[in-house]
Amino acid sequence: MAIISLREALRQAMTEEMERDPTVFLMGEEVGEYNGAYKVSKGMLQQFGPMRVVDSPISEAGFCGLGVGAAMVGMRPIIEMMTWNFAIQAFDQIINHAAKMLYMSGGQFPIPMVIRGPHGAAHMLSAQHSQCVDHMLVNVPGMIVISTVIPADAKGLMKSAIRNNNPVCFLESEMMYGKEGEVPEGEYLIPIGVGDIKRKGEHVTLVAWNKMVYLALEVAEELAQEGIEVEVLDPRTLQPLDENMIFESVRKTHRLVVLEEGWGISTIGNYIVDRTVTECFDDLDAPPARVHNHFVPMPYNETLEHEVLPNKERTIATIKKVLYR
C-alpha cells in the first residue's frame, strides 16, 4: 500500500470522485491558482479547469450558500473553508439552509454537499484561528459530521461524503496535513457512522478524534510501559456517532476517558459520557472523565497554548485517576 500524506489522501478522494461524477466541483478561497492554502487541492485546477476548481472571493457565507443552491438543483459541491473558524461566517447557510432544506421542503430538496476544512487549533494562531465548532455542528439535525486526520480514513470517508446525499461537514487539521500513513489506492470507501478501534486495550477506554487520536496513541504507548493497556477508539464520524463501539469497549474495560479538543461545556465528550452512563451504568468501575481545553480564548504564547490544549500530562493524569492509581 502506498504511504501518502493526509493532504494527498484528501486530494486523491476528491480527484477520483470528480473524475467519476461531472456534477462534483470544488470551490473555496485559494483552491485553484494558489493550489490550496494548505495545498490539499494542488494540481487540481490544471486537471479539471476553472469551472470545477473555483477560486472564490473571501465570502464564506456567499460561496457556501452558492453550494447549497447548486446542490438543490443536482450538483455535488465540495466547499472548502480555509478553516472552520472562517466557516462561522457561513453558519447561517450551514445551519439554516443546508441542514433544513430537505426537511422543510417535505423531502423534495436533498443537499448533497461537502463542507470541508481544517478544524481546531494549529500552532500559535491565537484566539480567532484556534477553535472547535464540532460540538455545535453535531447539535443540528439534518447534517453529517466527520472529523478525521488519519490518511486512509480521510480518503475513505471523503469519498463516502461526496457520494452522500446530505450536507456533510468534514473536519480536518492544519497540523496533520503532512502526516503520512498507508492509504489504499483507487476505490476505497469507509461507511459513514462507523468508528474504528485504533489500539486494543483492556484497562481503560479512551475516545478521541481528529488530531487527538495521535495524542491518544502516544499516551497509550507510554502507559503500556507501566502495564496500563489503553483501548483507543476513534469514532471518525461524530454525527451519527458509533455509540455501540463505545459501549462495547466500556463493557470490557469498565472505565471511560474522553479526550477532545475544544472547550468542555456541552460538547461531544459530555454527550458520550451521558450516553455511556445511561447505557452502561452497571458496567462502570469509576466515574467517566474528560480531558479538554481550558475555558479561555486561545492565547498566542506557546507555553500558554500548550497548557490550554489537552496535552499528554493531563491525559495521563486523568487516565490514572479513573484507574484509581
Partner 1 sequence: MPAPTNAQLVEFYKDMLLARRFEERCGQLYVQQKFSGFCHLYIGQEAVSTGSLNAIRKGQDYVISGYRDHVQPITLGMTPREVMAEMLGKATGCASGRGGSMHMFSSKLRYLGGHGIVGGQVPLAAGVGWKIKSMKEDLVILCFMGDAAINQGQFHEALNMAAIWDLPCIFIIENNLYGMGTAISRTCSLNVLADRAKGYNMRQAVVDGRNVLNTYAQMYEIVEETRKTSKPILVEMQTYRFRGHSMSDPQTYRSKEEVERERQQDCLQTLRDHMVAQKVATDDDFDKWEEEISEIVEDSVTFAEESPEPELNTIFDHVLAP
When asked if residue 109 is in the footprint of partner 1 (CB under 8 A), the reply is: yes
Residue with cell 490544471: 46
Q: Which stretch binds partner 1 (CB under 8 A): 2-10, 99-107, 282-290, 292-300?
A: 99-107
Reading the block at residue 145, the C-alpha cell is: 459530521
When asked if residue 72 is in the footprint of partner 1 (CB under 8 A), the reply is: yes
**Residue 155 DSSP SS3:** helix
HSE-up of residue 143 (Cα within 13 Å, Cβ side): 28
Q: Cα dist. 104→96, 109, 257 in Å?
A: 11, 9, 38
When asked if residue 47 is in the footprint of partner 1 (CB under 8 A), the reply is: no
CA-to-CA distance for 254 and 205, rounded, in angstroms? 8
- State the distance between the two ends of the chain, measured CA to CA, in whole angstroms: 41
CA-to-CA distance for 238 and 159, rounded, in angstroms? 17
Q: Which stretch binds partner 1 (CB under 8 A): 53-61, 221-229, 230-238, 311-319?
A: 53-61
Pick 33 or 282: Cβ nearer partner 1: 33
- Is there a contact between 255 and 205 (Cβ–Cβ < 8 Å)? yes
When asked if residue 237 is in the footprint of partner 1 (CB under 8 A), the reply is: no
User: Using CB under 8 A, which of 30, 42, 61, 139 touches partner 1?
Assistant: 61
When asked if residue 186 is in the footprint of partner 1 (CB under 8 A), the reply is: no
DSSP 29-51: TTSSTT--TTSTTTTHHHHH-TT
Pick 94 or 322: Cβ nearer partner 1: 94
Q: Which stretch binds partner 1 (CB under 8 A): 67-75, 130-138, 245-253, 262-270?
A: 67-75
When asked if residue 101 is in the footprint of partner 1 (CB under 8 A), the reply is: yes
Marked catalytic residue, from 17, 29, 60, 305: 60
Query: Active-site residue 248, yes or no?
Result: no
CA-to-CA distance for 136 and 197, rounded, in angstroms? 25
Reading the block at residue 65, the C-alpha cell is: 450558500
Pick 22 or 297: Cβ nearer partner 1: 22
When asked if residue 105 is in the footprint of partner 1 (CB under 8 A), the reply is: yes
Q: Which stretch binds partner 1 (CB under 8 A): 66-74, 124-132, 264-272, 306-314?
A: 66-74
Query: Active-site residue 129, yes or no?
Result: yes
Marked catalytic residue, from 30, 129, 222, 248: 129
When asked if residue 295 is in the footprint of partner 1 (CB under 8 A), the reply is: no
CA-to-CA distance for 86 and 31, rounded, in angstroms? 15
When asked if residue 169 is in the footprint of partner 1 (CB under 8 A), the reply is: no
- Is there a contact between 191 and 274 (Cβ–Cβ < 8 Å)? no
Interface residues with partner 1 (CB under 8 A) are 25, 51, 56-57, 59, 61-75, 77, 92-93, 96-97, 101-110, 112, 141-142, 144, 165-166
Catalytic residues: 60, 129
